[in-house]
Amino acid sequence: MRVISGTKKGITLKAVPGQSTRPTTDKVKEAIFNIIGPYFNGGIGLDLYGGSGGLSIEALSRGLEKMIIVDQDKKAIATIKANLERCQLLEQTETYRNDAGRALKALIKRELRFQLIFLDPPYAKEKIASEIAIISDFRLLADDGLIVVEHGKDHPLQERIGNLSVLRQETYGDTRITIYHFENK
């Protein structure tokens, strides 16, 4: 795994030890950023299933100002922090060990609005629809923001959840990328 583009291009990233996470391949990561960017003029992002931190680091490398990264796995948090340090991005991030549901409740209290939200849970433990509904109901996504969901192609998502609708879907092998946005932009 490596940073594909931007200010941190070419830096290699560590993977989380063991089999608990499924890192986004460079091919899929590049495809995601070609769809949603490829570059950003500031803004804040949220990664609810941080894994190795690869998607967050790529977003920061491409111009996002700040990322909040959440993962419930202790090894993942250690790997995220090591990768952030390697890329000299610790000051642009907040990293929390928490589950996605509790993290969303804490973020609602902070009244933050995100330009970019990544949802890439372990495929067998997907609660994506309910998490997107919370994001929609509590307006955690900026009006012009995007939610990027990486999920198994055998786990289709609804076209519409709350005030959010599918902007685009792409499939890469067993992986499907679904991008949501506010319907009335």
CA neighbor of 150 nearest in space, from 11, 22, 63, 57: 22
Q: Indicate the number of domains in the chain.
A: 1
More confident residue, 26 or 115: 115
| End-to-end Cα spacing for the chain | 35
Helix (H) or strand (E) holding 74: helix 74-86
Does some domain include residue 175?
A: yes
Residue 90: inside a domain:
yes
Which domain CATH number covers 119? 3.40.50.150
Distance (Å, whole) CA 104 – CA 131: 8
For 143, the token pair is 């009006």
Residue 181: pLDDT over 80 = yes
pLDDT category at 19 given cuts 50, 70, 90 is low
In the prediction, which pLDDT does 122 show? 77
Is 9 part of a structural domain of the chain?
Answer: no
Res. 175: pLDDT tops 60: yes
Backbone angles phi, psi at 178, to 5 degrees: -120, 130
Residues 6+ apart with CB under 8 A from 111: none
Q: What is the pLDDT of residue 123?
A: 63
With respect to residue 1, please indicate whether it lies within any of the assigned structural domains.
Answer: no
Q: Which domain holds residue 36?
A: 26-182
In the predicted model, is pLDDT for residue 22 greater than 80?
A: no
**pTM for the full model?**
0.94
Mean pLDDT across the chain = 93
pLDDT of residue 152: 87
Give tens-digit pLDDT for 131-164.
999 999 999 999 999 999 999 888 889 999 999 9
Residue 4 lies in a domain: no
Asked if residue 20 has pLDDT above 80, the reply is no
